[in-house]
Structure 1
Amino acid sequence: MTKNIQTHDAVTKKDAVNLDRRGVLQMAGAGVAALGLAAIANTATATANAKALNMTREWDKVFPQSDKVDHEKVSFTNRYGITLVGDLYLPKDRAQGALPAIAVCGPFGAVKEQSSGLYAQTMAERGFVTLAFDPSYTGESGGEPRNVASPDINTEDFMAAVDYLGLHGSVDRERIGVIGICGWGGMALNAVAADKRVKAVVASTMYDMTRVMSKGYNDSVTLEQRTQALEQMSRQRWEDAANGAPDYGPPSLDLQGGEPQFVLEYHDYYRTPRGYHARAVNSGNAWTQTTPLSFMNMPILSYISEISPRPVLLIHGENAHSRYFSETAYEAAAEPKELLIVPGANHTDLYDKLDVIPFDRMVAFFGDALV
């Protein structure tokens, strides 16, 4: 067990996890027999969706392009038939043979041109094939309506990225890891608990979106407040159904004065040249009014202990308002696990500050796990 602030010793204890595969297949029943036809239909859907996407070809990231990696815009389809768009990064001086790979996504409300792309490019400089992608319904990825989130579909998005990497000619499919940032840290942990192909997971400056949406910050929401929120969103569904389209909330991070410090930190990233991107929900756009509805009663970290015996690395800033999410997740996770607290860092410092994000530790972590 490792819980450190400045020491970076890894934990290597592993416990076996037994699964009753026969029982899982029996539950699937007749649906298993339909997989062949579904695969054919899904391929046709993927082709149609890819043609409909408007993918940019110019470099429009909020960080400079590295001359140490090769970059390619790619698309792939998730299990729900939604076409996702990603940026694939490969080490320019890569050796012959298949390389370890990492799927990267987050933060919640961001796009791949922001933090996840920076993480992906940096890890590619260190020798990994990496894929930063836009979640369903956001950025350049497909899905209608726009700017809606789902704990189920967004967890599936990570698994679909693993599908893509595992079929790529430069990737060793037995050496795939995942990095989730902010709200996608929780999605990453949820995905890896279910997807046994993934060998290791990093959650950086992690949010559990189901917890914060249902219970508020520091679990401060009362039952009465929760009930009122559900009442409002339930009735909003009638409005949306009558209008034939969802209603959207106010523009994100429009400051009115008196906001908490962490909101100012978000604004400093998403609404300034530091991290602004026109396609990001958090850069002045908005989620649908009913987006929190599916998060309210679906806790995504219920099975975090089942990531074991694969290793988990949780990274958080010492001064982050969200630090308690990683601390709680660390307690619930099984060995091998590590909680790395970055001294002096706040939540958004781990979005883009290259001198703060512990890339050396992540490289060592995946280097040990993806062997």
Structure 2
Amino acid sequence: MTQHANPHHQNQDQQYQDSPDIERRNLLKITGAGIAVMSIGSSLPSSALAQTQSQPNNEWDKTFAKSDKVDHRKVTFNNRYGITLVADLYLPKDRADKSPAIALSGPYGAVKEQVSGLYAQTMAEQGFVALAFDPSYTGESGGEPRHVSSPDINTEDFSAAVDCLGLLPEVDRDRIGIIGICGWGGMALNAAAVDTRIKAVVASTMYDMSRVMAKGYNDSTTKEQRQQGLEQLNQQRWLDAEQGKPASGPVSLELQGGEPQFVVEYADYYKSKARGFHPRAINSNSAWTVTNPLSFMNMPLLSYISDIAPRPILLVHGEKAHSRYFSETAYAEASEPKELMIIEGANHTDLYDQVDIIPFDKMTGFFRQHL
């Protein structure tokens, strides 16, 4: 079923209107949204950007306030490819001996100190053990080179997080769900399709990264444009091979003027120290590698979304989000039980940190019912 919710929030931004010219021009700019088929000439050497893996510590360095209802500690675990992932574990102070648990990640180009951590801490306040992790090659997690992503490895990251949760003495391993946000919403759905240990999945303000990289926004990329993009990316491979390391794109979300409203909204979150800036986040302070889109361009993430059934899916999206069509398509292709919740007046990034808009009560009820 599809629901519409009014969070009593009036968004003044106009809904993004489709424009092939704007979409194509900004395909080259929006590295923070992970879209880019970037021109070779715009790339920077990897050393020009902050790409060093940080040493994990337990200091509170989040973009949100620490809750007094939750215990927090840093944990590490390995995925199936031997990459060490770093995560923040949030434990409700008032909890059962064996609690239900949720693994979380996203958005695409963010770190666990931002959106996924806020979601995790909030769900822990509701009684769930919650694990917000940095995906492979990003944040405090391992993997070289830095700042690349993979539809396979990043799907595996979710399953590795389930491994981690299931080994904790505080967790009932038969009651584990996942939440994926933005680009990691697609990864979460892909993980749930293959990992039957995941009993319920929420995708919030979801992006299908394979679809947008292969086809552009609103599937507007022509066959000729796709071929041109592949030619550029593979020419970049020669340059990377000659240099012995991958080049990075321009620093994410450095606005020059003329960007569409949704790009301005991304920058408002990721670049604002009062809101979501974090020095380890690719979208705040760095860039993906130039060739990062390659593995997504012919590996569709949601091919088996119908296989998640009979385990339930909850899709949450903003009414005014430019990305809303990703959730609507996923909902149409998924099998029952499924639900699509549209948040009235909300744009894409409102569901990053606007706690009066994010339907945490709905998510709590969903997981209490199904875990």
TM-score (norm 1): 0.86
Deviation string, structure 1 residues 322-344 (Cα, Å, up to 9, x no partner)? 00000000000000000000010
Verify: 1:280 aligned to 2:281, yes or no.
Answer: yes
Cα distance in 2, alignment partners of residues 196 and 53 from structure 1: 33
- Computing the radius of gyration from Cα coordinates, the structure with the larger value is 1
Cα deviation, residue 57, structure 1: 2.2
Say which SS state the counterpart of residue 282 (structure 2) adopts: coil
| 2:146 match: secondary structure | coil
Q: Paired residue for 2:153?
A: 153
Residue 83 (structure 2) aligns with: 82
Tell me the amino acid that sits aligned with residue 120 of structure 2.
A
Counting aligned pairs with the same residue, the percent is 72
2:212 aligned residue:
212
Structure 1 Cα separation of the partners of residues 118 and 169 of structure 2: 23
Secondary structure in structure 2 of the residue aligned to 1:199: strand
Q: Which amino acid aligns with 2:257?
A: G
Q: Which residue of 2 aligns with 1:296?
A: 297
Deviation by residue 1:27-53 (Cα, 9 ceiling, x = unmatched): xxxxxxxxxxxxxxxxxxxxxxxxx96
Distance in 2 (CA, whole Å) between partners of 1:58 and 1:169 is 24
Q: Secondary structure at the match of 2:112?
A: coil
Q: What amino acid maps onto 1:241 in structure 2?
A: A
Q: Which residue of 1 aligns with 2:144?
A: 144
SS at match of 2:104: strand
Amino acid at match of 1:339: L
CA distance in 2, matches of 1:94, 1:159: 24
The answer to whether the 8 A contact 2:103-2:132 is kept is yes
Residue of structure 2 equivalent to 1:99: 99
Secondary structure in 2 aligned to 1:102? strand
Amino acid at match of 2:331: Y
- What is the match of residue 313 of structure 1? 314
Task: Please say if 1:110 is aligned against 2:96.
Answer: no
Residue pairs, 1:220-259, within 5 angstroms: 220-259=220-259
Distance in 2, matches of 1:136 and 1:71, equals: 21
> Does 1:6 find its partner at 2:5?
yes
Distance in 2, matches of 1:141 and 1:196, equals 25
Give the letter for the 2:243 counterpart.
N
Number of residue pairs matched by the alignment: 324
4+ residue runs over 2 A deviation: none
Distance 1:227 1:281 in 2: 27
Aligned-residue CA RMSD (Å): 1.0
Partner secondary structure for residue 198 of structure 2: coil
**CA offsets per residue over residues 147-193 of structure 1, 9 Å max, x none?**
00111100000000000001110000000000000000000000000
CA–CA distance in structure 2, aligned partners of residues 327 and 139 of structure 1: 30
Task: Give the TM-score, by structure 2 length.
Answer: 0.86
Q: How far apart, CA to CA, are the structure 2 residues paired with 1:335 and 1:349? A: 28
Do structure 1's residue 72 and structure 2's residue 69 form an aligned pair?
no
- Residue 19 of structure 1: aligned partner: none
Q: Partner residue of 2:332?
A: 331
Counterpart in 1 of 2:343? 342
CA distance in structure 2 between the partners assigned to 1:196 and 1:211 by the alignment: 24
State the shift of 1:238 in Å.
1.2
Letter in structure 2 aligned against 1:6: A
CA apart distance, 1:224: 0.6
- CA shift at 1:284, angstroms? 2.7
Shift of 1:278: 0.4
Counterpart amino acid of 1:361?
K
Contact 1:103/1:130 (8 A) holds in 2: yes
CA distance in 2, matches of 1:284, 1:82: 23
2:270 corresponding residue in structure 1:
270
Q: Give the match for residue 62 of structure 1.
A: 63
Q: SS state of the match for residue 58, structure 1?
A: coil
Give yes or no for contact 1:254–1:284 (8 Å, CA) kept in 2: no
Q: Which runs of 5+ in 2 are unaligned?
A: 7-52
> 1:175, 1:199 within 8 Å by CA — same for their partners in 2?
yes
Q: Deviations over 1:116-142 (max 9, x none)?
A: 000000000000000000000000000
Q: Is the 8 A contact 2:278 2:285 kept in 1?
A: no
Q: Is the 8 A contact 1:79 1:156 kept in 2?
A: yes
Match of residue 36 from structure 1: none
What does residue 168 of structure 2 align with? 168
Asked whether the equivalents of residues 69 and 91 of structure 1 are also in contact (C-alpha less than 8 Å), the reply is yes
CA-to-aligned-CA distance 1:47-79 (integer Å, 9 cap, x gap): xxxxx9611321000000000000000000000
Distance 2:58 2:175 in 1: 29
| Counterpart Cα distance in 1 of 2:219 and 2:176 | 34
SS in 2 for 1:132: strand
1:28 corresponding residue in structure 2? none
Q: Which residue of 2 aligns with 1:354?
A: 355
SS at match of 1:144: coil
Offset of residue 4 of structure 1: 1.3
Once residues 6 and 103 of structure 1 are traced to their aligned partners in structure 2, the CA distance between those partners, rounded to angstroms, is 25
1:301 match: secondary structure: coil
* Bigger Cα displacement from structure 2, 231-240 vs 257-266: 231-240
